[in-house]
């Protein structure tokens, strides 16, 4: 690619019927100025393209990282859900088992209280019978003593 300096240093051979040297030089001066502007602008644009390409690469890297992070987060979320469900099921099973044990213990205590109640009822019945017998025998003894004293 030509540079502005190449254009400025270009020398043309003179021919017999050539162009006017001053017109060619002045035109070349204009071309040099315009070409230099375009050349600089082209270089700036190339730098800008490189910078933008670097930014695009950076943003693509960020996008890829975000996508990977999202996949990991979704996976972790699913894992947390599964673990939470499993823990909930374990807690429910343990609670149901504890409830069954508590109910069984309460039923056993009710049976024990019923047995104790029945035993107490029997003991009271036996006591009443013995006490009645005792009272009856005492009454008989008193009557016997009274009869003996009356006879005397």
| Secondary structure of residue 94 in the 3-state scheme | helix
Q: Express each pLDDT in 16-72 by its tens digit.
A: 777 777 888 888 888 888 888 998 999 999 999 999 999 999 999 999 999 999 999
Question: What's the confidence (pLDDT) of residue 2?
Answer: 72
Cα–Cα distance for residue pair 145/11, rounded to 1 Å: 173
Q: Is the torsion defined by CA of 109, 110, 111, 116 positive or negative?
A: positive
Phi, psi of 147 (to 5 degrees): -65, -35
Other CB atoms within 10 Å distance of the CB of residue 36: 15
Question: What's the confidence (pLDDT) of residue 23?
Answer: 81
Asked if 39 contacts 4 with a C-beta cutoff of 8 angstroms, the reply is yes
Both tokens assigned to 3:
């540079």
Taking the domains of the chain in order of start, what are their residue ranges?
A: 4-117
Question: What's the confidence (pLDDT) of residue 148?
Answer: 81
Flag whether pLDDT at 12 surpasses 80.
no
Question: What's the confidence (pLDDT) of residue 63?
Answer: 97
Question: What's the confidence (pLDDT) of residue 124?
Answer: 96
Q: Express each pLDDT in 68-123 by its tens digit.
A: 999 999 999 999 999 999 999 999 999 999 999 999 999 999 999 999 999 999 99
Listed in sequence order, the residues at least 6 apart from 39 whose beta carbon sits closer than 8 Å to its beta carbon are: 3, 4
Cα–Cα distance for residue pair 96/34, rounded to 1 Å: 90
Flag whether pLDDT at 149 surpasses 80.
no
């Amino acid at each position: 690619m030509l540079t502005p300096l190449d254009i400025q240093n270009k020398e043309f051979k003179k021919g017999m019927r050539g162009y006017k040297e001053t017109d060619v030089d002045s035109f070349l001066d204009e071309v040099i100025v315009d070409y230099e502007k375009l050349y600089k602008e082209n270089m700036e644009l190339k730098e800008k393209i490189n910078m933008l390409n670097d930014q695009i690469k950076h943003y693509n890297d960020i996008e890829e990282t975000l996508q990977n992070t999202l996949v990991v987060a979704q996976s972790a979320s699913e894992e947390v859900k599964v673990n939470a469900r499993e823990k909930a099921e374990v807690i429910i099973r343990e609670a149901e088992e504890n409830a069954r044990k508590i109910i069984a213990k309460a039923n056993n205590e009710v049976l024990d209280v019923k047995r104790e109640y029945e035993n107490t009822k029997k003991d009271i019945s036996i006591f009443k019978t013995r006490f009645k017998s005792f009272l009856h025998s005492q009454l008989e003894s008193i009557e016997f003593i009274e009869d003996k004293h009356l006879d005397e």
